[in-house]
C-alpha cells in the first residue's frame, strides 16, 4: 500500500501538471525518483501511461484510466481516514455537495455557515450546476449528496427530504400583478417577459404552458442565470417567470413580488435532497446531510402575503 500510494501521488501530480520537473518541484522530491516510479509501473502494466512530447507529458488512454482510478482511490482513502478519526471522537472530514443555482443564496449558505461553526473540522465543497448535472453527479457518486428538481427515478438515488415549489410571475412591488396571490399564465400576454433558458429546469414548465395555452409571449429577454433574470425584472425589463425558490430571498426582503401561476395544467416542481442509493454517506457527510435536511423545511414555508389581495 505505501509503495502504491507513493506512485499514485507522483503519477497524479505529473498527470495534472504535464511535467516530471514541475511535479518534482511541487512534491519536493527528485525528478529521477518520480520518473523511476512511473517507468516501473509502465513496465508492470506493459503499456505507457504517458506520451513523451517535446512540450511535456500527455496521458495515454491507459493513463486516463489510471488517473480516474487514482481520484476514486484518494476519495475512498480520505473517507477511511475520516471514519477512523470518528472512532476517536473527532468530527472531521471533507464533504462534497452539488446544488442547483437557485440554492446558491439564502437557506443553504446560511445552513452551511452554521455547520462550519459547529463542526470546524469538517470542510465542504459546494458545486453549483444545472439540474441534470446535479442528478448525474449524485447517481455517479461524484458528490456525497445534492439538491435538485424532480427526480425521475428512485432506483439509483435515495430521497431524504423534499418540498413542493411553485412557478409564478416575478415583478416589482408596484406592478399590478404584485397585488395578487395567483393569476393565470395568460395574465402576462401583452407585457414584456423575461424568460429562463436551458439548462434552468423551470424552462420546461414554461414550454408546457406555452404549448397548452398557446399564449404569444413577448420575450424581451432570455437568460440561463437566475440572478440576471431577477436583476432585469428589478430594472424594469419585464415580468419574470421563475419559481418561488428562485426569488425567496428577494421576496422575503420585499425587493420583488411573487404571484403563483394557477393554470390547472401546471404541477408543482419537487425539490429533492438526495444521495446515491449504492453508497451510504460517510460520517462527516451524514452530519452535513442531517443539518441540511433540518433546514430543508424552510423551502416549504409560504412567502409573505401581498399587501393587497386581488379578485
What integer pLDDT is reported at residue 83 of this predicted model? Answer: 67
Residues 6+ apart with CB under 8 A from 192: 218, 220, 221, 237, 238, 239
Cα 227–chain centre separation: 16
Segment 181-214, tens digit of pLDDT: 999 999 998 999 999 998 888 888 898 888 888 8
Span 30-44, pLDDT tens digits: 999 999 989 998 998
Distance CA 11, CA 75 (A): 16
Residue-level pLDDT at 72: 81
Task: Give percent of the chain above pLDDT 90.
Answer: 39
User: Residue 194 corresponds to which cell in the numbers above?
Assistant: 423575461
- Contact partners, residue 70, CB within 8 Å, separation at least 6: 8, 11, 12
Cis amide leading into 199 (omega within 30):
yes
Give 71's contacts (C-beta < 8 A, 6+ positions apart).
Answer: 12
Q: Which is the CATH superfamily of the domain at 167-267?
A: Periplasmic binding protein-like II (3.40.190.10)
What does the DSSP assignment read for 222-250? EES-HHHHHHHHHTTS-EEEEETTTTHHH
| Predicted pLDDT of residue 1 | 39
pLDDT of residue 307: 44
Domain ranges of the chain: 2-74, 91-163+270-300, 167-267
- Domain 2-74 matches domain 91-163+270-300 at the CATH topology level: no
What pLDDT is recorded for position 82? 67
pLDDT computed for residue 147 by the predictor: 94
- Which class is domain 2-74? mainly alpha
Contacts for 188 with CB less than 8 Å, ≥ 6 apart? 169, 215, 217, 239, 241
Residue segments in the chain with a per-residue pLDDT below the cut of 70: 1-4, 82-91, 153-154, 300-311
66: helix, strand or coil? helix
Q: Residue 3: what pLDDT?
A: 47
**CATH architecture for residues 91-163+270-300:** 3-Layer(aba) Sandwich (3.40)
Amino acid at each position: 500500500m505505501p509503495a502504491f500510494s507513493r506512485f499514485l501521488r507522483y503519477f497524479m501530480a505529473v498527470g495534472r501538471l504535464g511535467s516530471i520537473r514541475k511535479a518534482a518541484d511541487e512534491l519536493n522530491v527528485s525528478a529521477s525518483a518520480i520518473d523511476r516510479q512511473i517507468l516501473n509501473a509502465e513496465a508492470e502494466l506493459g503499456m505507457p501511461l504517458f506520451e513523451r512530447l517535446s512540450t511535456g507529458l500527455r496521458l495515454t488512454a491507459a493513463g486516463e484510466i489510471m488517473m480516474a482510478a487514482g481520484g476514486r482511490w484518494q476519495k475512498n482513502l480520505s473517507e477511511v481516514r475520516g471514519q477512523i478519526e470518528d472512532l476517536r471522537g473527532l468530527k472531521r472530514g471533507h464533504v462534497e455537495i452539488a446544488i442547483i443555482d437557485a440554492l446558491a443564496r439564502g437557506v443553504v449558505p446560511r445552513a452551511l455557515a452554521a455547520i462550519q461553526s459547529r463542526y470546524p473540522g469538517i470542510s465542504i465543497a459546494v458545486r453549483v450546476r444545472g439540474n441534470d448535472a446535479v442528478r448525474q453527479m449524485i447517481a455517479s457518486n461524484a458528490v456525497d449528496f445534492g439538491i435538485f428538481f424532480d427526480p425521475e427515478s428512485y432506483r439509483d438515488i435515495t430521497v431524504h427530504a423534499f418540498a413542493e415549489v411553485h412557478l409564478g410571475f416575478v415583478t416589482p412591488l408596484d406592478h399590478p400583478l404584485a397585488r395578487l396571490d395567483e393569476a393565470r399564465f395568460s395574465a402576462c400576454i401583452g407585457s414584456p417577459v423575461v424568460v429562463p433558458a436551458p439548462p434552468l429546469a423551470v424552462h420546461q414548465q414554461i414550454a408546457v404552458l406555452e404549448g397548452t395555452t398557446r399564449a404569444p409571449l413577448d420575450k424581451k429577454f432570455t437568460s440561463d442565470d437566475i440572478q440576471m433574470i431577477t436583476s432585469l425584472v428589478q430594472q424594469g425589463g419585464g415580468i419574470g417567470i421563475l419559481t418561488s425558490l428562485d426569488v425567496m430571498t428577494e421576496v422575503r426582503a420585499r425587493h420583488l413580488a411573487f404571484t403563483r401561476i394557477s393554470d390547472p395544467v401546471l404541477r408543482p416542481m419537487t425539490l429533492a435532497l438526495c444521495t446515491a442509493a449504492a453508497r451510504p454517506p460517510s460520517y462527516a457527510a451524514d452530519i452535513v446531510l442531517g443539518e441540511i435536511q433540518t433546514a430543508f423545511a424552510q423551502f416549504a414555508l409560504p412567502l409573505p402575503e401581498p399587501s393587497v389581495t386581488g379578485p
